[in-house]
Amino acid sequence: MTTISEWNERFGITGAAEIMAGQGGLAMVRVTAPAASAEIYLHGAQVTSWKPAGNDEVLFLSSESRFEDGKAIRGGIPICFPWFRGKTDDPKAPAHGVVRTKEWELVSVAQAGEDVVVTLATESDEASRRWWPYAYRVVYRVTVGAQLGLEFTAINTDSRAQRIEEALHTYHRVGDAAQIRVMGLDGTAYLDNMDGNREKIQHGDVVFTQQTDNAYLDTRAELDLVDPVLGRRIRTEKKNSITTVVWNPWESGAKALSDLGDDEWRQMACVEASNILGAAVVLAPGEEHGMAAVISVTNGR
């Protein structure tokens, strides 16, 4: 197995990127670019921190997160693939798929002007085939700069077609979830997972008054999370994503999650690019599909 020092010797960039041991001793890439800093774990290819220059932390990370092999990290940007939530035909399968709890391959770290681009990949193996009997390869390209660019590509390396769901499950750090609003979904149909996935219509901005788990359908528009407490606006622009998930566990849901502090639900809100449920992607043998999101921050209410 490649050691952290070997990764750093191969991929480290003096003054811009270092591969080091993070929490739990797990390998991570720490980016210190002129335009932003970030932390990206090889475990799940998970971005856990992003701070554009002159701004505070944009991503939420639970103080109770587990940094262990086989365990999901609570916060940052988990990758959900090849299913979302529970696997419909197997309740024993891990939630949100098989790639978020394994160590990914670090493919490259490169500078692009003031940005740093980190590319990771993983593919099917004996462990994944226990739950998903198809061959695949996925590649994830993270561009750290004044904007955070996320490009996820799934390649069907099997001889059979496969139907995949995917999500970039972004946890935004907020001042108070009860005071934020999400703009850009007015008039959009959504499935309410807290009400048996009944289809409803969004009226006005999304505000949080209770546990919320909505999958917005046929939506490609940019979204703004407006945070009056932290005095900023977080924008998500997406490409090749036609569903958007908005989630907050609220007080009741937080208490049921052992890796989330009881009061931490106030500090987070998930707004994520995805293709799930009826928007799942069917890949023919040899076919690939890319989904992308760009996150940016502006100060002001």
DSSP letter assigned to residue 62? -
Query: Do residues 230 and 271 make contact, with C-beta atoms less than 8 angstroms apart?
Result: no
C-alpha triplet 270, 271, 277: angle, nearest 5°: 100
Instruction: State how far the Cα of 71 lies from the Cα of 91, in Å rounded to an integer.
Output: 17
Residue type at 128 in one-letter notation? S
Give every CB contact of residue 299 below 8 A, 6+ residues apart in sequence: 55, 231, 232, 233
Catalytic-residue membership of 169: yes
d(CA 205, CA 84): 25
Give CA–CA dist 241/245, Å, rounded. Answer: 11
Nearest to 46 by CA among 229, 168, 175: 168
CB-CB neighbours of 159 under 10 Å: 9
Given the residues 43, 169, 172, 264, select the one marked as catalytic: 169
Question: Which residues pair with residue 294 across a beta bridge?
Answer: 149, 237
Query: Of the residues 39, 151, 165, 272, which is catalytic?
Result: 272
The phi, psi pair for 8, rounded to 5°, reads: -65, -40
- Angstrom distance (rounded) from CA 271 to CA 80: 14
Is 199 designated active site?
Answer: no
* Catalytic positions, written as ranges: 169, 272
